[in-house]
Structure 1
Amino acid sequence: MGTSVKVSNLRITAGPATLVDRVDFEIEPGKVLALIGESGSGKTTTALALMGYARHGCEISGDIRVGHHDVLRLLPGEQRRLRGREITYIAQSAAASFNPSRTIMDQVVEPALIHRLMDRDAAEAKAVALFRELALPDPESIGERYPHQVSGGQLQRLMAAMALITDPDLVILDEPTTALDVTTQVEVLRVFRRAVQERRTTAVYVSHDLAVVAQVADHILVLRDGKMRELGDTDQILYQPVDDYTRCLLAAAKPAERPGAPVDPDKSPLLLEVRDLSAGYGALDAHGQPATKILEGVDLKLYRGQAIGVIGESGSGKTTLARAIAGLVAPCRGSIAFNGHPLKPTVAQRSREELRRIQIVFQMADTALNPARTIEDILARPLQFFHGLRGEAQRARIRQLLDLVRLPSGVAQRLPGGLSGGQKQRVNLARALAADPELILCDEITSALDTVVGAAILDLMAELRKELGVSYLFISHDLHTVRAICDEIVVMQHGRKVTQVAHDDYERGPHHPYFTLLARSVPELRRGWIDEVDLHIEGARAAQGVRSAA
């Protein structure tokens, strides 16, 4: 059963900086509170404080009561006994949280064994029951696998099993579906909600996505810059928000459409043509086929000035398509032509001019930027390589690039670690623009960003398209995102292109069943949506014979 939570005057500081400032809230037993806000708003920091935990160098003050525990007054050993037993945590990235060298069962039963709640046999039996409760495939044997042998959606649910095996009173869910594609997200969200409701567990759900928390939360606390902006029940926050910032979040959750003027194929030259493209990973066999085939016979045309979206579930081949066009993955069959000229299969074989014309912006801004180099150094590299710029000409162009992506010139002297996620992604975009490309391949560039920052990036890209005439191939699993910026949508499934839909035809039908499935899987900003959508999704899956990606 759940427990009560009461937080009073919570402050979390890191030296002179205040990360969370005078936050107060209560949660009744068995209820779910959502913490909502942009990156850096203090959501995760507040949630972790419920366990008496703060990052190195931070201090927590105030009053936190979880059931009969005065958390901040407990000794360190008592806090450790609380964590993983009465309070558990489900992280955003299950893939980064599991140990790749140990079986799933070893890791799921570990909390029960550490806290000496039961013996190994009893713990394994309880784990299998949880696997079944969480709708995992092969519940009797999935525990024998290693983390890399299951999908992202399955791994996220296995982390939930690890969190629930001790029958906790409070569960903290930290962006648990953000890294999942839309169809998997619906299934995992539904399973999480049912597990919490049936167990009457008190829960804190951390997210930047109001449409997601609308399906699970009883109350919502809106945070910005570590301060409370609004606290209320879910219906009040969704339909009668009081604070201007809450209204801003609600507006960002409904992305405005930003497509440019329609491109007439009869008048605009063909920029990119992909024909019968197949590609994969691993050693080639005697027939020149890779060990793991990802793409199979893909055809695609993109005209100058167009923005084309590519959507599909995880594993559908979206990113492999972008990497093949960029020359990072060599096709095993088919051809890629740019401006009417065939492209060599790999980066190493392409000319400097061919490299300049096609640039790629990756999903994870953190890993795409060298943490030891200043932003000026990072932007200088393509300017030197492609254009031979040095000295004042180079510095002037860097200032122009930063201005193009709406960053102040002072950013040039900073390291990536001193920038927010949205700022880092703008730097990645500026680096691509430094080459003066004709085509930018955008690989899930807003999926790791909160809704407000993601919407700002989409606005920026639409403006750059108008100003510079650059074309985009926009990879995403989110139909709303590509709909906001793209003229057409290519739908991928199991490595194949199954359909292509023009922007003006989005609302018209009938569409391919898989396109319909993806469209219906994007959470709507209203309570009860997830209950209504279940049958539609299952029906679409049955009609299409789609194997669950979760």
Structure 2
Amino acid sequence: MGASVIVEGLHITAGDQTLVDHLSFAIEPGEVLALIGESGSGKTTTALALMGYARHGCAIAGGSVRIGDIDVLGLSAAGQRALRGRTVSYIAQSAAASFNPSRTIMDQVVEPTRIHSTMPRAEAEAKAVQLFRELALPNPESIGQRYPHQVSGGQLQRLMAAMALITDPELVILDEPTTALDVTTQIEVLRAFRRVVRERRATAVYVSHDLAVVAQMADHILVLRGGQMQEVNSTAQILARPAHEYTQSLLAAARPAPRATEHCKGEGELLLEVRELSAGYGPVNAQGQPAAMILEDINFKLYRGQAVGVIGESGSGKTTLARAVAGLIAPSKGSMLFKGHALRPDLRQRSKEDLRQIQIVFQMADTALNPSQTIERILARPLQFYKGLQGTALQRRIHELLDLVRLPHSVAQRLPGGLSGGQKQRVNLARALAAEPDLILCDEVTSALDTVVGAAVLDLMADLRRELGVSYLFISHDLHTVRAVCDEIIVMQHGRKLDHVARANFDRGPHHPYYELLAASVPELRQGWLEERDRQVSPATESVACAA
């Protein structure tokens, strides 16, 4: 049984800025509280404070945190170190960034028991195997002997949960643990987390911006905005009758609707045709095939003004397809035609006009924007390269681009580090638009954004499509988003195209079983969905669809 958690007047600052503003709440033993809100609302900052921790540059300036009888903020530094990993444990968003690649999984999972001297090594390993089994990991007796790179992302996320639970903590903090996972993997992880938390009667805090996921996990929801509580209530009450206007906006954004764009049915000018495209990575053999073949025999057409979605799990070849079209990876077989002429396979062989007409927007705006360059300089570069703009004309066009993506002109003088995730992704989009392209390749452009910001970016893309006539190849693992944005959907698995679904058939079959599995794996915004889904989609059905 977990402990009670009582937070009173929690106040966290970063210099003169208030991050969490005198926040108070309580969690009963064995309950799950979800913290939801947009990026920058204070969710993770609040969760970390439950361990007595504030990130670099931040300070816990006031208030109290009690876990059971322990006054967390009153502990010495040594006392807080003894608390972390023992009384309270933390499951981070990115397991891949949290594991040491040079040590075996078992060494790392049992490490908390060694640090806190809770049990002998042999007993800890036996308990780890038991947790691997509870978390539905494959080969629980031997998976601990592998290294982190030898397991999938979803498995690594569950292994991090085993590490967090091995000391039987009173409180478990889950910080966006499924955000980076594709939908079918997310279901496996959610199912495992929920079962373990419930069976162990652990008190838990679940940080997320995804209300549909929260609906499957949480007993209560606390809504944060700008570090202030907007409302707190039972999950059922929040979903059915949200009291605060901001909560209502979060719920509205969590229900994707078709964007206001006149959908293209594949008529008019053929913009891009991909024929029997194969591509991969690594050394090429005598037959011209790379060592690791990622794409095999992909065929599709994209017409002017169309938005075509590419859906599939991680590793299905979606991003490799976009990179091949962009010229960032040379195909080993097949051809690509753009406006009727052959696209050179290598970016360096393409004409300036080909480069201008096909632009790519990457998933992580953080790594796609040069942190040492101002936004003005980032946007100026393609305008100078493709359009030869200078002086007043250059400044005017930069301001027009910022207007297009709904950003204030003052942003131009700032560095990327001073912008929010949504603002950076808008700059990423503005940079692509600077070239006035015919086709934009969108690689998971909203997956790292919270629900409200992601919905705003999708609305913006729909407006630009209508106003500028730009076409999109929209890559995602979120089928709800793709259905809201796209005219057609290409379904991919293991590098192959399994299905091609037109908008008119999104909701009516017959479809490939794998498409049906993806559709059934997107959480719905209601309690009990996961239990209902488990009754309708058996593990046998999942395995058949995945093997197909």
TM-score (norm 2): 0.98
CA offset digits 1:443-495 (Å, max 9, x no partner): 00000000000000000000000110000000000011011111111110111
8 Å CA contact retained: 2:266, 2:302: no
CA offset digits 1:375-418 (Å, max 9, x no partner): 00101111111111111111111000000000000100000000
Alignment correspondent of 2:458: 458
Alignment correspondent of 1:187: 188
Q: 1:4 to 1:437 in 2, by over 3 A?
A: same
| CA distance in structure 1 between the partners assigned to 2:45 and 2:266 by the alignment | 51
**In the alignment, is residue 430 of structure 1 matched against residue 430 of structure 2?**
yes
| CA distance in structure 1 between the partners assigned to 2:317 and 2:14 by the alignment | 43
| CA distance in structure 1 between the partners assigned to 2:218 and 2:66 by the alignment | 21
- Give, as a single letter, the amino acid of the residue that structure 2 aligns with 1:429: L
CA positional deviation for 1:539 = 4.8
- Give, as a single letter, the amino acid of the residue that structure 2 aligns with 1:340: G
After superposing the two structures, state which structure 1 stretch, 271-280 or 253-262, moved more.
Answer: 253-262
Alignment correspondent of 2:78: 77
Paired residues in the alignment total 546
8 Å CA contact retained: 2:421, 2:449: yes
Question: 1:35-434 alignment to 2 at 5 Å?
Answer: 35-60=35-60, 61-258=62-259, 260-266=261-267, 268-434=268-434
CA positional deviation for 1:69 = 0.4
- Give, as a single letter, the amino acid of the residue that structure 2 aligns with 1:168: P
| CA distance in structure 1 between the partners assigned to 2:198 and 2:192 by the alignment | 10
8 Å CA contact retained: 1:255, 1:484: yes
- Give, as a single letter, the amino acid of the residue that structure 2 aligns with 1:494: H
- Give, as a single letter, the amino acid of the residue that structure 1 aligns with 2:483: R
Question: 1:528-543 alignment to 2 at 5 Å?
Answer: 528-537=528-537, 538-543=539-544
CA positional deviation for 1:351 = 1.0
Q: What's the secondary structure of 2:33's corresponding residue?
A: strand
| CA distance in structure 2 between the partners assigned to 1:264 and 1:231 by the alignment | 45
Q: 1:259 to 1:302 in 2, by over 3 A?
A: farther
CA positional deviation for 1:23 = 0.9
Q: What's the secondary structure of 2:110's corresponding residue?
A: helix
After superposing the two structures, state which structure 1 stretch, 275-284 or 257-266, moved more.
Answer: 257-266
CA positional deviation for 1:545 = 4.8
TM-score (norm 1): 0.98
- Give, as a single letter, the amino acid of the residue that structure 1 aligns with 2:153: G
- Give, as a single letter, the amino acid of the residue that structure 2 aligns with 1:180: L
8 Å CA contact retained: 1:8, 1:63: yes
| CA distance in structure 2 between the partners assigned to 1:516 and 1:269 by the alignment | 31
Alignment correspondent of 1:518: 518
The ranges of structure 1 where at least 4 consecutive aligned residues each deviate by more than 2 angstroms after the TM superposition are 259-266, 535-540, 542-547
Q: What's the secondary structure of 2:184's corresponding residue?
A: helix
| CA distance in structure 2 between the partners assigned to 1:107 and 1:399 by the alignment | 51
- Give, as a single letter, the amino acid of the residue that structure 2 aligns with 1:229: Q
8 Å CA contact retained: 2:260, 2:463: no
8 Å CA contact retained: 1:260, 1:487: no
CA positional deviation for 1:510 = 2.0
CA positional deviation for 1:542 = 3.9
| CA distance in structure 2 between the partners assigned to 1:262 and 1:235 by the alignment | 36
Alignment correspondent of 1:491: 491
CA positional deviation for 1:63 = 1.0
Q: Which runs of 5+ in 2 are unaligned?
A: none
| CA distance in structure 2 between the partners assigned to 1:185 and 1:443 by the alignment | 19
8 Å CA contact retained: 2:514, 2:546: no
After superposing the two structures, state which structure 1 stretch, 531-540 or 64-73, moved more.
Answer: 531-540
Q: What's the secondary structure of 1:111's corresponding residue?
A: helix
After superposing the two structures, state which structure 1 stretch, 54-63 or 72-81, moved more.
Answer: 54-63
CA offset digits 1:223-245 (Å, max 9, x no partner): 00000000001100000110000
| CA distance in structure 2 between the partners assigned to 1:441 and 1:536 by the alignment | 35
| CA distance in structure 2 between the partners assigned to 1:536 and 1:294 by the alignment | 32
CA positional deviation for 1:259 = 5.8
CA offset digits 1:260-295 (Å, max 9, x no partner): 3233544x1110000101111111112111111111
| CA distance in structure 2 between the partners assigned to 1:335 and 1:259 by the alignment | 34
Q: What's the secondary structure of 1:359's corresponding residue?
A: strand
Q: What's the secondary structure of 1:204's corresponding residue?
A: strand
| CA distance in structure 2 between the partners assigned to 1:320 and 1:259 by the alignment | 29
8 Å CA contact retained: 1:92, 1:176: yes
CA offset digits 1:145-183 (Å, max 9, x no partner): 111111110000000011011111100000000000001
Q: 1:164 to 1:264 in 2, by over 3 A?
A: closer
- Give, as a single letter, the amino acid of the residue that structure 1 aligns with 2:116: H
CA positional deviation for 1:62 = 0.2
| CA distance in structure 1 between the partners assigned to 2:384 and 2:347 by the alignment | 18
8 Å CA contact retained: 2:402, 2:408: yes
Q: What's the secondary structure of 1:215's corresponding residue?
A: helix
Alignment correspondent of 2:15: 15
Q: 1:250 to 1:279 in 2, by over 3 A?
A: same
Alignment correspondent of 1:441: 441
8 Å CA contact retained: 1:259, 1:486: no
Q: Which runs of 5+ in 1 are unaligned?
A: none
Percent of aligned pairs with the same amino acid: 73
Computed over aligned residues only, the root mean square deviation of the Cα atoms, in angstroms, reads 1.1
CA positional deviation for 1:535 = 3.7
Q: What's the secondary structure of 1:214's corresponding residue?
A: helix
| CA distance in structure 1 between the partners assigned to 2:263 and 2:237 by the alignment | 40
